[in-house]
Structure 1
Amino acid sequence: MSKGHSTFLEYRIYRKKFLGTIIVVIVLCLSAFSGVLFFFIRNWINDVQIQSQYRFQQKERQLENIQTWTRSYVEGLYTDTALMEDLKALFGAVNNQDYIAKRRENSLNSDSEIRYVPSDIKKLFLDGRTKICGVTLRSDNGIKALRMTNYDLWVDFECRTIEDVKTIPGFGDIMASSYSVRDPDNMSISMGTMDFWISTADFYEDNDEINASWGIFDADGDMLAHSKMSPQQEAELFQAALRGVQFDWLENTGSRRTFFTKHTSNQGTFSYVVIKSIGELVADNRYVVGVIGTTLFLIAFGIILFTNMQLKADYEFLSKIIHMLSHMESGEFADVQEEDLSSERRKNEYGMIAVALKDVGAKLQGHIQREYVWKLKEQETQMRALQHQINPHFLYNTLETLRSRALLEGDRDTADAIALLGALYRARTHTKDTITLGEEFKLLEMYLKIMELRFGDNFFYQVELEDALREIPTVSFWLQPLAENFFTHGFDRESMYNLLIISGHPQGSDTVIEIMDNGSGVPADQLEQVQKTMREGNDDPEADIGLRNVYMRLNYFYGNGFKMEIGNNPEGGFKISILIPGKVEEDVHIGDRG
């Protein structure tokens, strides 16, 4: 056996465990990193959605305020007759000269001072809250565009369409509100429509607070305003603007994994689109990603370091165990006992193995000594058997001669007894060491029939073995010594009724054999000594070794689970109970018994 290795990595069991731990830790940490990062990315995406929705709703509320202010302004026009007269003149004029002529006519026909609508509208331009950049008056007489330049309000009569209006520098690109203006003299007649315009760039001038690329699109899909962005981001914005959903992932973005969120105004006049890639999200939150990665790295390093320390400690203790095994392999059991484990005593499996090895060493040394003594006694027994051996053919011939003479003299009982005795002796000399329970019970019945012929009417016996138990393997000629024990110690020649019962029945997966008689039993003060002699033996050559011999043979054959109990029957007599385990041990040299 190898004496050991210099490092624990040279042991295959530790190398596989250590490398396996590293792989598992790395896989778990990468999985945890991916899972945590995915969780945070979902939160970051949700934050972008919330921020964009908040900014959009904020602008929507601001737009609603503008609509409220402009509505109040238009409604206020109806309360000022002079302003309405001038507004009517402006709606009806086809050019600036026509407007001046109509104002002159209004001045001549009015007793009071006439009003000038452009000057009144100017206060809307100067009110920073409204963010009004332009006003259009649309009627059958054309479009008039009112704009303010250097705090002067100008009226442009040259626009033919709304698209022409949008080309006016600084006029505005979003129609914030639009109202039909009716003739105060006849409310069923519409003079035209008054539109209020705002500039997307001015309206969203503070939108860079959101950390993403954004764009404002009108209903036709044209970009009105946007944040600073690359050409690729601009293309992605246009792609998102054409989608009809509020949130989704963009396609064909290459290595960029980009999502968008889209909000459309209640009037449907413009859309607010925000895009951001996963890479940008991670870059914006690189500190958080770094903390997650560092934390998981430290956890992984700590686990690997702890595993290394544990395996190193186990390796050192295992080296001690291997050293003990080397002594045992060499048969140096005394050296195993001398190993000092007091300073290295552990409460885990390695400690249990080391202590068990010391115990096994001590037991092996004792077992070797006991086996040596047992072999000596076995040889002595064999020598005694040889001394008493009789030539079997001589015995068979003699018994057959006696049986024939008994038949000639008409003594049938004697002839049958001699025949049974010859058959029993023949079976004893030719039967294998290992037979079945059925065969062993058959041999017992032959012996009991001989004893029945011998003792006549004052001996009765009963033998019962269930059929399911007949094929169970057992050693040969162990029931007869137990029956002989009855005739030696329990049989009463003066009694007219001596009974011996031998039975076998299953008990769960085990088998129980019982031998009972109605004899005098064993005195209580001697029963304990008989039990001790049966289990431990007795060096006294005069001691009865029948029970001891049967116990040792059966215990050796059946191994763990075998039990043999002796005692007195409550009703009187002696009882022997034998429990045969459900499975015969395979390590008792069954092959040598044939």
Structure 2
Amino acid sequence: MDKVRTRFLGYRLYRIKFIKIVGFVFLITTIVFLGVLAFLFNTWMNDLRQQAQDVFMERERRLANIRVWALDYTNGMYEDAKLMEDAAALFSARNMEEYIQARRNNSLNSRQQIGYLPGNIKKLLFWDSRKQITGVSLSSHAGVKAIWQELGDVRLQFGITDVESSMAFHEAGDMLVASYPVRNTEHMDQTLGKLSFWADSREIYECGAVPAQWALWDAQGRVLRDGGLAQEGGRFLSQLAEKEGQSGWLFPGEGMPVFFILQVSGESGYSFLVFKDVGAVLADNKHTVSVIVFAFVLVAMGVLACYYGGIRSDAAFLAMIMDMLSAMEGGNFARMQSLALPASARHRENEYGMIAAALKDVGMKLKGYIETEYILKLKEQESQMRALQHQINPHFLYNTLEMLRSKALVHEDRDMAEAIAMLGALYRARMRKKDTITLKEEFAFLEMYLKIMALRFGDNFVYQAELEEGIGEIPTVNFWLQPLAENFFAHGFGQESEYNLLTVNGYAREGGGEILIIDNGCGAAPSKLAGIRRNMREGNDQAEGDIGLRNVYMRLAYFYGDGFRMDVGNNAEGGFRVSIFIPGRVEDVHTDDRGR
């Protein structure tokens, strides 16, 4: 089983569930946010509509006042005979020369000072800023004249083709406010012409109180104030023409949607448009939108955090169950026993708690079963070994070895005699010793075996076996170093190699000792190392494996318990390496199972 993953997103079950809840929370939050934003937009647009209506009504009252002033001025002209004479001269003149000649004639025929209509208009209309009249045009059969003020002086222009052309003079104004006929005082049934009053649309409709763009056009469709309307494109104007209501949304095609309020003057026919796009609305209310976004994000994060806490708690419980399974699979029942179930009643009473409790109970029963089976197997092997020992007459073997040693000495073959002597000593030691010995004694037996192998192979084999002081009295099982050395002669020893080296060293470490068995053989293929380790820890318990790594690992693991570690691998310089750590103290030693 793979290593247990503690992060809950590592489990596909919880990962999919968490992704779904994140998507659901995001969807609901987005829908509610858009609903709130739509409500706020409706509120903001209602406020804008009300502001635009207030501004429009105030401008309508202002235009009505201007019309009243214009009418009062027109009626007041009839009270001044000299002014009417000058007005008649101006209406009938086609150019400045005719007007000057008419004024000269009026002056010769009158003993009083003659009137001057442009000056009177300047005094009574232009100089009074409340009236906001910026120009006056006179139209008659003799043509159109325009009167306006420029740099404090009154200007008079002849030769204008029509009344609307007077707008070409910027100071005269671009907005026709009112037009009244002027009659001949001597013949009231005759009309001298028409007197038209002009104003500047910017001064009239400038709506700084409305936070939006605005535009103005007259009844003939001439745009007086663009206000950025042309930038929206022709599609904007065409959509506006198709709209029947006074307000609504327009979609120009390029850019953001635009909200508009259109109001038409009932008397003058001027159209007043206020419009504002979505981007401008959001920019004006960015603080409100930011607070709402922050609030929704905070709520969404709170919901996800609550769900995250619950699902993480469940995942932690599942991770513990997976950890139990991993410990059972690796045979590490001590670790499984150390795992404690969470104290949360919510988990202990649900399916997770039932599974974990049952799994832990099964694991403990399995541990007891495996230990019982292993002890029975060891006892069976021990019985077989003792039965074999009883079948051999030790004295016969000792006498035979001594006879062979004597013959070797007679023939002066000292190496053979020494080998026979060490073999006899090794056999006597193994037969007399119990199953549990000290680490120092186990090293001594190993050195006897290595001396015999050195005599066998001569200069072709060199060994080193050293044990540091302080760990020699550590208890251990009998006969486990020699099988590891035999593995070297079986798999790592090179018959054709001139130099075969085997080192077995014991070092004192914190809490125990470390045994390193290193050779300079060919080592193991990298592709097979994982299999060697797996077979060492999880391989079968067949009898032919007693002298192998599996047998040594199982005997030491059972003897030392959790503190024991054993690993195998290749050296960087070449050869094979076995590393074993044994605890300095052995607790809960079953003396009956170890021959004491």
| CA deviation after TM superposition for structure 1 residue 241, in Å | 5.9
Cα 1:27–1:77, aligned 2, differ >3 Å: closer, same or farther?
A: same
Aligned partner of 1:128: which letter? Answer: S
One-letter amino acid of the structure 2 residue matched with residue 197 of structure 1: W
**Contact 2:91 2:138 (8 Å CA) reproduced:** yes
What SS does the aligned partner of 2:31 have? helix
**Which SS does the other structure have where 2:134 is aligned?**
strand
Offset of residue 360 of structure 1: 12
Shift of the 147–355 alpha-carbon distance from structure 1 to 2, 3 Å rule, reads: closer
User: How far apart are 1:292 and its partner, in Å?
Assistant: 2.2
TM-superposed deviation, 1:135: 0.6
Equivalent pair of 1:240/1:273 in contact (CA under 8 Å): no
Gaps of 5+ in 2: 327-338, 360-596
Contact 2:248/2:260 (<8 A) preserved: yes
For 1:304, the equivalent position in structure 2 comes to: 304
1:114 matched residue in structure 2: 114
Q: Is the 8 A contact 2:235 2:252 kept in 1?
A: no
C-alpha contact 2:236 2:251 (8 A) present in aligned 1: no
Bigger mean CA offset, 123-132 vs 237-246 = 237-246
Q: 1:129 to 1:350 in 2, by over 3 A?
A: farther
The answer on 1:344 being equivalent to 2:343 is yes
Matches within 5 A, 1:127-526: 127-204=128-205, 206-207=206-207, 210-227=210-227, 232-233=231-232, 235=234, 238-239=237-238, 242-243=241-242, 245=244, 246-316=246-316, 344=343, 346=345, 351=349
Deviation of residue 81 (structure 1)?
Answer: 3.2
| Separation in structure 2 between the aligned mates of residue 310 and residue 250 of structure 1, nearest angstrom | 48
Residue type at the aligned position of 2:223:
M
Letter in 1 for 2:150: T
| Structure 1 residues 290 and 345, CA gap change in structure 2 (3 angstroms) | closer
The structural deviation recorded for 1:86 is 2.8
**Counterpart in the other structure of 1:92:** 92
- TM-score, scaled relative to structure 2: 0.50
Tell whether the 8 Å contact from 1:178 to 1:195 is kept in structure 2 after alignment.
yes
1:32-111 paired onto structure 2 within 5 Å: 32-110=32-110
Aligned AA (2:24):
V
Per-residue CA shift, 1:498-543, capped at 9, x if unaligned?
A: xxxxxxxxxxxxxxxxxxxxxxxxxxxxxxxxxxxxxxxxxxxxxx
Q: 1:161 to 1:2 in 2, by over 3 A?
A: closer
How many angstroms does 1:131 deviate by?
A: 2.2
Paired residues of 1:214 and 1:273 also in contact (CA < 8 A): yes
Could you give the per-residue CA deviations for residues 64-114 of structure 1, whole angstroms, max 9, x where no partner exists? 221122122222223333323332333233333333344344445545433
Cα displacement (A) at 1:197: 0.8
C-alpha contact (below 8 Å) 1:248/1:260 kept by paired residues? yes
Residue 184 (structure 1) shift: 3.3
Question: What is the Cα-based RMSD across aligned positions, in Å?
Answer: 4.3
* Shift of residue 186, structure 1, vs aligned partner: 4.2
* SS in structure 1 at match of 2:139: strand
In 1, are the aligned partners of 2:348 and 2:354 still within 8 Å (CA)? no
Question: Does the 8 Å contact 2:240/2:250 carry over to 1?
Answer: no
Partner Cα distance (1:111, 1:226) in 2: 53
**Are 1:146 and 1:155, in contact at CA under 8 Å, matched by a contact in 2?**
yes
What's the CA shift for 1:349? 8.0
1: CA distance between counterparts of 2:356 and 2:231? 77
CA contact (8 A) 1:143 1:159 kept: yes
Structure 1 residues 82 and 240: CA distance shift in structure 2, 3 A: farther
1:194: how far off?
A: 0.9
Structure 1 residues 82, 4: CA separation in 2 closer, same or farther (over 3 Å shift)?
same
Structure 1 residues 157 and 244: CA distance shift in structure 2, 3 A:
farther
The letter of the residue matching 1:151 is G
Look up the match of 2:486: none
C-alpha deviation, 1:132, in angstroms: 1.7
Q: Hey, what's the Cα distance between the residues in 1 that align with 2:182 and 2:300?
A: 75
Report the alpha carbon displacement of residue 171 of structure 1 after superposing the two structures with TM.
1.9
Alpha-carbon distance change, 58 to 2 in structure 1, aligned in 2, over 3 angstroms: same
Q: Distance in 1 between matches of 2:131 and 2:279?
A: 39
State the TM-score, normalized to the length of structure 1. 0.50
The letter of the residue matching 2:86 is D
Deviations 1:276-308 (A, max 9, x none): 332333344333333222222222112111111
CA distance in 2 between partners of 1:355 and 1:272 (Å): 74
> Contact between 2:219 and 2:271, CA under 8 Å: does it hold in 1?
yes
Cα deviation for residue 244 of structure 1 reads 5.5
- Describe the shift of the 1:213–1:234 C-alpha distance in structure 2 as closer, same or farther (beyond 3 A): farther
The answer (yes or no) to whether the contact 2:139–2:194 under 8 Å persists in 1 is yes
Cα pair distance change 1:216/1:160, threshold 3 Å: same
**SS at the partner of 1:266?**
coil
AA in 1 matched with 2:199: I
Contact persistence 2:139–2:145 (CA under 8 A): yes
CA distance in 1, matches of 2:223, 2:325: 85
Distance 1:253 1:155 in 2: 47
> Helix, strand or coil: the match of 1:144?
strand
